[in-house]
Amino acid sequence: MNTPKAESVSEQGQPDGFVVGTGFERQVGSGGDTRLLISVSTDRLADVHLALLGALEAPLTLLYRRKVNRTAPRENGAPPEDFLAPDLSLDEVRAALSEASDLVWHDARCEVWVRGMMGEQIILDQDGVLYAYPDDHSFRDVLAEVGIDEDPEVQVLLDRDYVKHWFHASCDAQEEALLRRVMAVPVAPQGDAG
pLDDT 10s digits, 96-144: 999 999 999 999 999 999 999 999 999 999 999 999 999 999 999 999 9
How confident is the model at residue 193, as a pLDDT? Answer: 59
Residue 1 placed within a domain? no
Q: Which one, of 146, 122, 155, 114, lies nearest residue 20 by Cα?
A: 155
Cα separation, 85 vs 95, whole angstroms: 14
Cα separation, 98 vs 50, whole angstroms: 9
pTM (two decimals): 0.93
Residue 194 placed within a domain? no
Q: Which residues form the domain of 141?
A: 6-187
Question: Rounded to 5 degrees, what angle do the CA atoms 47, 54, 21 make?
Answer: 40
* 170-191 pLDDT, tens digit each: 999 999 999 999 999 999 876 6
Confidence band (pLDDT; 50, 70, 90) for 71? confident
Return the percent helix, strand and coil in the chain, to nearest 5: 25, 25, 45
Residue 193 placed within a domain? no
How confident is the model at residue 194, as a pLDDT? Answer: 56
For the chain, how many structural domains are there in total? 1
